[in-house]
Structure 1
């Protein structure tokens, strides 16, 4: 029975071709079929150090005003060669078609845009996140299938991602994923997520690289996620 339930998410993930630049709950790149709680907000922030000696500082605030529509607006500043500038400005909307339940599955829709002020270009993307819960939420699989329109290239790429959350302890999770953005080999990422205050304050750390790149495109990241109680009107 368990094997059959794993088959659908695997087919969804590997039957596609490539992943959009949107993010799920830190530290995953592959998005999940979940939203911030109704009338609540969160802020996801992280620092990513790249192999090329550049450092990215990200902050993505999100709010759920209606109960089934999560809006995100944020971006990144990047330090490279002694210069720091805004390199990404992201806006996204996300909704659910079916809510994820314990030992069940959920699916949603998301779309957004990322502007690159330094290069004066803009990308657009959309995707379908699907999540599958096993063993009373101790293992959750996430798949993404979508498309990314790269403004600078004037080309559209199919996108995909596959991620797993596995509970190691009461407040600690192991994150593993593989995803593809644009052309070239897929990327992989491995990390840990730990709740300092359950459902309110989370820290995480990851290591990632492109498959077969011998470490040339590797990165490490450290993140902080803060969630609020319901307070919006």
Structure 2
């Protein structure tokens, strides 16, 4: 059984389809929805993560996902709650930085006291060049793994770049120091600019483990 959510518990908070988060929030006094399917050789994940910016600078994310193994019909769930704020919003041709803290729960995988979940925090920083034609995101953080009773450092480096018209490209590498990192690349297409997008990526672990290969498709709805 392989589930990216189990290996990377902060993999669900970025602007689709990036795993590496950005120094941006959803619109003030509004909500957004990000949802996606990630398919592996042996299974499939389905996720839905609604997020709301309750004021001008305080975003709450509450959501979850499910993983199903095709061979033995094994199924498990994951739940995420997160709070995020910005110290400096990302500006065009400038930079931004923020802070996020949250908890991810794997109740089927971590029974008993571990059902309380793993707590994490990270700092997202973003940098814009050429009128947002290229935006680079950097994450650094830590997760407290209750089951293994250890702290794990997490890192991420991602980029989104204009390809022309409504198309953007994305690429990133991310992971923690306990295992080989992951990478992915793909496309984002805006059906309604800044409101509704669809996307797709391919990725796998850097060590070439074919079991970790995935294909994802998703959507993001950010109403004004």
Q: TM-score, normalised by structure 1?
A: 0.86
Against the structure 1 CA distance between its residues 40 and 84, is the aligned structure 2 distance closer, same or farther, given a 3 Å change threshold?
farther
Aligned pair partner of 1:103 in 60, 74, 93 = 93
Matched residue, 2:3: none
Aligned pair partner of 2:220 in 222, 225, 232 = 225
Matched residue, 2:53: 64
Against the structure 1 CA distance between its residues 174 and 70, is the aligned structure 2 distance closer, same or farther, given a 3 Å change threshold?
same
Matched residue, 1:160: 155
- Whether the 8 Å CA contact 1:194–1:204 is kept in 2: the answer is yes
Instruction: Say yes or no: does 1:140 pair with 2:130.
Output: no
Matched residue, 1:12: none
2:220, 2:16 → 1: CA distance?
7
Matched residue, 1:9: none
Secondary structure of the corresponding residue to residue 35 of structure 2: strand
The 4+ residue runs of structure 1 with deviation greater than 4 A are none
Secondary structure of the corresponding residue to residue 36 of structure 1: coil
Displacement after TM superposition at 1:64 (Å): 0.3
- Whether the 8 Å CA contact 2:40–2:211 is kept in 1: the answer is no
Q: TM-score, normalised by structure 2?
A: 0.89
- Where structure 1 has 5 or more consecutive residues not aligned to the other structure, the ranges are 1-17
1:59, 1:182 → 2: CA distance?
27
Aligned pair partner of 1:181 in 176, 196, 212 = 176
Displacement after TM superposition at 1:209 (Å): 0.6
2:177, 2:39 → 1: CA distance?
21
2:130, 2:10 → 1: CA distance?
28
Matched residue, 1:46: 36
1:60, 1:82 → 2: CA distance?
27
Alpha-carbon RMSD: 1.6
- Where structure 2 has 5 or more consecutive residues not aligned to the other structure, the ranges are 1-7
What number of residue pairs does the alignment pair up?
Answer: 211
2:177, 2:119 → 1: CA distance?
12
1:84, 1:152 → 2: CA distance?
21
1:103, 1:63 → 2: CA distance?
26
- Provide, for residues 110-141 of structure 1, a one-character-per-residue CA deviation record: whole Å limited to 9, x for no partner: 01001112123311110000000000001000
Greater relative contact order (CA < 8 Å, ≥ 6 in sequence): 1
